[in-house]
Amino acid sequence: MVTSELQFAVKPSLTPSELDDVGALVAEARWNQLAADWRIFIELGCVYAAHTGEGRIVATTATLPYGDRFAWISMVLVKGEYRRHGLATQLMRRAMEQLAREDRIPILDATPDGRAVYRRLGFEDSWGFARLLRRERQRAAATFVGPADVTIRAMVDQDWPALSAYDAAAFGAERGAVLAGLRGRLPSAELVAERAGRIVGFALGRDGGLAAQVGPLIADDTAIAAALLARAVDGLEGPLFVDLADSKQEVRSLLDARGFTEVRPFTRMLYGSSTRFDDAARTFAVIGPEFG
Q: Distance between CA atoms of 106 and 20, rounded to whole angstroms?
A: 28
* Residue-level pLDDT at 143: 67
Q: Which distant-in-sequence residues (6+ apart) come within 8 Å of 255 by Cβ?
A: 132, 134, 229, 233, 242, 244
Cα distances from 137 to residues 141, 234, 269, in angstroms, run: 9, 7, 32
Domains of the chain, earliest start first: 3-103 (3.40.630.30), 130-285 (3.40.630.90)
* Residue-level pLDDT at 164: 97
Q: What is the pLDDT of residues 29-82, one digit of tens each?
A: 999 999 999 999 999 999 999 999 888 999 999 999 999 999 999 999 999 999
User: Whole-model pTM?
Assistant: 0.95
Q: Which distant-in-sequence residues (6+ apart) come within 8 Å of 139 by Cβ?
A: none
Q: Is the peptide bond before 161 cis (omega within 30 degrees of 0)?
A: no
SS3 196: coil
Q: What is the pLDDT of residues 198-218, one digit of tens each?
A: 999 999 999 999 999 999 999
Q: Distance between CA atoms of 210 and 82, rounded to whole angstroms?
A: 24
Q: Distance between CA atoms of 158 and 225, rounded to whole angstroms?
A: 21
Smallest Cα–Cα separation from 143: which of 237, 239, 258? Answer: 258
Residuewise pLDDT in 10s, the chain (292 residues) = 556 689 999 999 999 999 999 999 999 999 999 999 999 999 999 999 999 988 899 999 999 999 999 999 999 999 999 998 889 999 999 999 999 999 999 999 999 989 999 999 999 999 999 999 999 877 655 667 788 899 999 999 999 999 999 999 999 999 999 999 999 999 999 999 999 999 999 999 999 999 999 999 999 999 999 999 999 999 999 999 999 999 999 999 999 999 999 999 999 999 999 999 999 999 999 999 999 9
